[in-house]
Structure 1
Amino acid sequence: MRQLFTRRAVRLRNAAVAVTVLASTALGAALLPGAAQAADTPLRDLAAAKGVYVGNAVAGGKLSGTPAYAAIAGAQFNSLTPENAMKWGSVESTRGSLNWAEADQIVAFAQAHNQQVRGHTLVWHSQNPNWLTNGGFSATELNTILQQHIAAEAGRYAGKIYAWDVLNELFNEDGTYRTSVWYPALGTGFIANSLNWARQADPAAKLYINDYNVEGIGAKSDALYNLVKSLKAQGAPIDGVGLQAHFILGQVPSTLQANIQRFADLGVDVAITELDIRMQTPSTDAKLTQQAADYTTVVKACLAVSRCKGITGWDISDADSWVPSVFSGYGAATLYDEGYQPKPAYRAVATALGGSTTSPSPTATASPSPTATATPTTTATPTATATPTGGTGGCSATYSVPNQWNTGFSGNVVVACAAGSSLSNWKVSWDFGAGQQLTQAWNATCTQTGTRVTCTNAAWNGTVGSGGSTSFGFNANWSGSNPVPAVTLG
């Protein structure tokens, strides 16, 4: 993100534990029926069928504090990018004192939801700690500091990151190198060095250079193209180019696909890494229609080039977007509105990825309540509600289906204890009555033998205190019908 984007730092929050995030995810989707099922099939499944990923940028505080946000993040996307949590100023605001809490939280959330992570970002001119920016270091000292930082961060998450935005926003608009703490102090050699150090620290990750206003062919994208070509000639480990794609309504470059193709022809992957399409507010039906068409253009341009690996949006909903705080009078840039309801752009993305063209689900929302019983939104049993049927000393388990599509569904089970009751470990069981087959689970260990499904607590969420609760989720296949089973808690 460019210098203006530093306002996102104010939204950084330190998350306490990843389990809070996971416990809120499926419940949030159940309580907000329009939030996560605008298409019959989640975006992540549609994208996977096309051989690409679809992702979004996330913040730890939102994952743990906003159920609808967490529900969408977990159900709709198969790739997550930490919005701020991995930036240097976040992890090492004081020299030598490393804070990985939020980054760890996001990685744990992604692992629990079978998602990949794009690491963002190791080397940038912005959102660096004051001790680095104003440290007065010599070139030799800067080189050592940079190497140590890349080794520490990329090394910590080695094997857990799909791709690193190793270098972010290297160029000015005219294609010259941006002045920063790194350039001209280290010359241009820090670019290849950073890639080499990242490869050493995390050998399996794809290594990217990421920038904005390089989506169409022009002076800035030419400079990036020539850099990548040079790095390839040097034998530097450059695997991909990230095109941020912060667009204005109606202004998607006509050369987007051609530009993606020319980078691919250099032998590197390409990804759309920070997509949003802002408009002058308030939005209108005409603007939303144009926005949907613009999102379609971007998705189709990526799908048309075999080395375009995926598309990541920047911020889940308009309520979370950075745009209004930076561009006065602009906003409404994401796939979801401020109430976490899908916009026409969501339907356009789903359709471009091969989804159905049926209308989105109802957009009414329900306010979360600690005592509410979740009513699943499903195509087969739209009013079915699972009630506690098994209990242990005042504790119970509630099964719901917050999201269902053509051949599969996401289930959620809440384990709760009334005041005066508690659990130190738990096991929840049920029988699928219509041939459903479990495919994956998170926040619990689940197995299926015949029709019987048994789920036991994970290492971190076995204890449920007095008046407390935890939850776990799962995906499964279904055909014909998907009745809600009776559950037992043992």
Structure 2
Amino acid sequence: MAALVAGIWSCSKTGKDEPKPTPTPPQPPAPTEKVLDYSKASLKELAAKQGIKLGVAMTYGEYRQNPAIAGLLEREFSSVTFGNEMKHDCIVGADGKCNFSTADAMVSYASKAGVDLFGHTLGWHSQQQNDYLDKLISKARPDNSSSLLQANWNFEEGTLDGYVANGFGLTSSYYEVFAGDYAAKAESEASLGFKVSLAEGKTYELSFWAMSEASDRSVKASSGNQETTASLTSKWTKYSTSFTAAADGEAEFTLEAAAGACIDNIRVVLAGGQSAPVGKFYSSSLLEGELADDAIGFAYKSWVYAMIEHFDAYGWDVVNETFSDAYPSGFRDKSNTDLSGYHKFLWGQYFGSQKDFVDKAFAYAKDALAKYGKEAVLYINDYNLEYSDSKLGAYCDYAKNNPDVTGVGTQMHLDLQLPNLESKIDNMLRMLTGTGKLVRISELDIKAGSSKLKEQAELYKYIFQKYIEIVPEAQRGGITFWGFNDKDSWVGESNHPLLWSGKNYAKKPAYDAIYIYLCELAGIDPYKASE
């Protein structure tokens, strides 16, 4: 019975055998997600294969507080720009003297990382040393009406008329002129004589500005049997001395100098209570003594020469943000520029116009490079060029027509929320390339929400694609990111603008997108080999 029951339960209701279930075929293993291999190459190596010098901005705070950036700087970048530390108010003190110590420490740091220095910036309307500049403005402009030497006292007639010149000629080299366009320069052992009318027994003050690049140079001033000698330096200095008239009538003054001495702004006035001592020279700086006709212009010129002499930079932002955001765009002036706030100063107000200032800035920079035997690309730099067709047009027209401008910089502080970015970037790059100058993306970052990091990465890749596609290799001045890490960005961590984030400097999708794209261009597989 037990066997019967077992047999019944083993049969189907139909009396036929049930079909056996079809076995499930083995499934292929799930695809392994590709993992990037960052050891294949650095960003700077990949960029260099496309003729791109890859740079980054760094501030003193990052340099002092974030040791992680030393490795990133050395591995990923070819150049560095200091965000603030080479600007006017960081170098120039309230007394007009330059203090390079902070910037020098950062230069040493960058040099150990093997990166080149980009100079930022020689001319801007923000972060200027107003404490010094305002003192120059507040001092009375020199009034030459009291001088007994009226004709051609500053050589601006472009001649030596009015002087008995032996061995003196005119110079118009920027560094050899104190103020204006001309100065007298001794071409050999030379003398410069002139006559003025004096009254017997009265004391008169003779003053002039002088300098000499050559060492051991002096100027001897004499009148009658009175003479005084001043030792010159390579910096423009005002020299003053007093003479007492031996008789009524015309007296002859003579300035004698050796080759290389430059003299400007000669004056003879009736001495007052604060006059220089008789028979001795009193020297004074621009801030301490009488102002030049163009004190601000001279202060600016001195700043440019000092910076180019001191720093070895492969390029300079000579003028930064000089075009207005108004429509139609043009050079900045008081009507279109907010000068309130911290250390704002519009140099163009003291150069006739902002265009005159920009012209002079590039001329000074070019001359300073030649003077100190250096080479560098001289950039004009501005923002919102991708957004404003009016500004872009004015900017390109100026750059194209000034031969001293050898590079054009576009900052490219972008915001992912703004429309039509891709077409605007294309148009801007084509316009900049059309100037014939080197084209540099100078301060790149992209604002994006935390949910838009993929779109941000795609835009970063697009910028590199279009830069390589539109800008010929011979015109590629490089691409610089305006910082390392979101947490230290000038636009705030919440805008997630850069390639790394967090205290551990994690690579973001933006880094990966650029890395993959540049690897593909170089024929490098960016991924780890499958195991």
- TM category (shorter chain) comes to 0.5 to 0.7
Post-superposition Cα deviations, 1:155-175, rounded to whole Å, max 9, x if no partner, equal: 111xx2110000000011131
Higher Rg: 2
Aligned twin of 1:264: 433
Q: Out of 50-59 and 60-69, give the one that drifted further.
A: 60-69
Opposite residue 357 of structure 2, the aligned amino acid is F
- SS of the residue corresponding to residue 409 of structure 2 reads strand
Secondary structure of the residue aligned to 1:167 is strand
Residues 1:324 and 2:492 aligned together: yes
Q: Distance in 1 between matches of 2:323 and 2:133?
A: 19
Deviation at 1:132, TM superposition (A): 4.3
What is aligned with 2:241?
Answer: none
- Within the alignment, does 1:243 sit opposite 2:410 as a pair? yes
Confirm or deny: 8 A CA contact 2:70 2:113 kept in the other structure: no
Change (3 A) 1:279 1:177: same
Equivalent position to 1:337, from 470, 481, 501: 501
- Aligned positions of 1:61-460 closer than 5 A: 61-132=61-132, 134-135=134-135, 137=137, 140-157=294-311, 160-174=312-326, 175-179=329-333, 180-186=345-351, 187=353, 188-202=355-369, 203-216=374-387, 218-232=389-403, 237-251=404-418, 252-280=421-449, 283-284=450-451, 287-304=452-469, 305-306=471-472, 307-324=475-492, 330-339=494-503, 340-354=505-519, 358=526
Give the C-alpha shift of residue 314 in structure 1.
0.5
| Correspondence for 1:390 | none
Taking structure 1 as reference, are residues 132 and 257 closer, same or farther at Cα in structure 2, changes over 3 Å only?
farther
The alpha-carbon deviation at position 358 of structure 1 amounts to 4.6
Residues of 2 paired with 1:87 and 1:80: CA distance? 15
Q: What is the CA–CA distance in structure 2 between the aligned matches of 1:196 and 1:165, rounded to whole Å? A: 13
Would the aligned equivalents of 1:216 and 1:254 in 2 still touch at CA under 8 Å? Answer: no
Q: Secondary structure at 2:119's aligned position in 1?
A: strand
Residues 278, 331 of structure 1: 8 Å contact kept: yes
Identity of aligned residues (%): 31
For residue 94 of structure 1, report the CA deviation from its aligned partner. Answer: 2.2
**Take 2:389 and 2:381, find their aligned partners in 1: how far apart are those partners?**
16
Distance 1:177 1:265 in 2: 21
Distance 2:508 2:303 in 1: 40
Q: 1:177 touches 1:183 (CA, 8 Å); kept in 2?
A: no
After superposition, where does 1:16-55 map in structure 2 within 5 Å?
38=38, 40-55=40-55
- For residues 43 and 145 of structure 1, the distance between their equivalents in structure 2, rounded to whole angstroms, comes to 41
Shift of 1:250: 4.8
Cα pair distance change 1:147/1:346, threshold 3 Å: same
Contact 2:93 2:132 in 1 (8 A): no
**How far apart in 2 are the matches of 1:183 and 1:192?**
10
Measured after TM superposition, the shift of residue 103 of structure 1 is: 1.6
SS at match of 2:423: coil
Task: For 1:260 and 1:135, locate their aligned partners in 2 and report how far apart those are by CA, in whole Å.
Answer: 42
Unaligned runs of 5+ in 2: 1-36, 142-292, 334-344
The residue type equivalent to 1:314 in the other structure is W
Q: Which amino acid counterpart does residue 226 of structure 1 have in structure 2? A: D
- TM-score, normalised via structure 2 length: 0.55
* TM-score, normalised by the number of residues in structure 1: 0.60
Deviations 1:188-247 (CA, angstroms, capped at 9, x unpaired): 211121111112222401000000001356011111011112313xxxx11101100000
The question of whether the paired residues in 2 share the 8 Å contact of 1:64 and 1:70 is answered with no
Aligned-pair CA distance for 1:39 = 5.9
Amino acid at match of 1:80: V
2:416, 2:38 → 1: CA distance?
22
The answer to whether the Cα contact below 8 Å between 1:62 and 1:70 also exists between their aligned partners in 2 is no
Deviations 1:358-415 (A, max 9, x none): 569xxxxxxxxxxxxxxxxxx9xxxxxxxxxxxxxxxxxxxxxxxxxxxxxxxxxxxx
Partners of 1:338 and 1:178 in 2: how far apart? Answer: 39
Distance 2:324 2:132 in 1: 22
Q: Distance in 1 between matches of 2:422 and 2:124?
A: 25
Give the Cα separation in 2 of the matches to 1:103 and 1:238.
25
AA in 1 matched with 2:305: A
* 1:63 Cα deviation after fit: 2.2
The whole-number CA distance in structure 1 between the counterparts of 2:52 and 2:87 is: 26
Tell me, in whole angstroms, the C-alpha distance in 1 between the residues paired with 2:332 and 2:323. 5
How far has the Cα of 1:133 moved from its partner?
5.2
Q: CA deviation at 1:64?
A: 3.5
**Alpha-carbon spacing, 1:254–1:132, altered in 2? closer, same or farther (3 Å):** farther
Shift of 1:46: 0.6
Q: Distance in 1 between matches of 2:61 and 2:47?
A: 27
Superposed structure 1 runs of 4+ greater than 6 Å apart: none
Distance between the aligned counterparts of 2:55 and 2:406, measured in 1? 19
CA deviation after TM superposition for structure 1 residue 97, in Å: 3.0
Secondary structure at 1:195 match in 2: helix
Mapped to 2, the partners of 1:248 and 1:217 lie a distance apart of: 14
SS in 2 for 1:270: strand
Q: Secondary structure at the match of 1:255?
A: helix
